[in-house]
Amino acid sequence: MTGSQQIVDGRPALRFERRLNHPRERVWRAVTEPAELARWFVSEVPWTPKAGEVFEAGGESGRIIALEPPRLLSWTWGVERYSFELQSRGDGCLLIFTHVFDPRLGPDWQHAAGWETYLSRLDVHLAGGFLSEEEAHEKIDELFERYRETFGSSRV
């Protein structure tokens, strides 16, 4: 999987698309249920989720801004925005993850490498395994380099 640069509402964003061999409903649980998120996501997220819900995670406040189960979950977290969109594809689904980020919190290549690492943890989780954060980050320097080369000095 490779992240790509975008502009969303005038802000820099990253978009990841991944074809998953799991039904949309299974992936929906993995990206919305707190117990499942705790196995692969960057932070524990104590949400229900429900539209308009406010939550606290990783020292930042967040709010669910769009919820259309089992297709779309969008939320703010601090000054940034995120979304999971799921599209059925045969027996599996397409996961589209978007992160609208604040460049003051890190460059695009750093965010992209980090998200690729966490989405790799999701793959392992969906397959019934567990990949620790430490194991997942063993190759982070290679991902940093790849994304620095891919994104270069271009800014979307």
Alpha carbon of 109 to those of 66, 141, 151, 155: distances in Å?
A: 27, 11, 7, 11
Q: Which tens digit of pLDDT belongs to each residue from 118-150? A: 999 999 999 999 999 999 999 999 999 999 999
Which pTM does this prediction carry? 0.94
Residue with tokens 């980020």: 101
Q: How far is the CA of 44 from the CAs of 2, 26, 68, 110, in angstroms?
A: 24, 19, 21, 21
Q: What local confidence, expressed as pLDDT, does residue 155 receive?
A: 52
Q: Which residues of the chain have pLDDT under 70?
A: 1, 153-156
What are the residue ranges spanned by the domains of the chain?
Answer: 4-151
Residue 2 has a pLDDT of 83
The confidence score (pLDDT) of residue 153 equals: 56
pLDDT of residue 1: 60
pLDDT of residue 152: 83
* The one-letter amino acid at 76: T
For domain 4-151, the CATH superfamily is START domain (3.30.530.20)
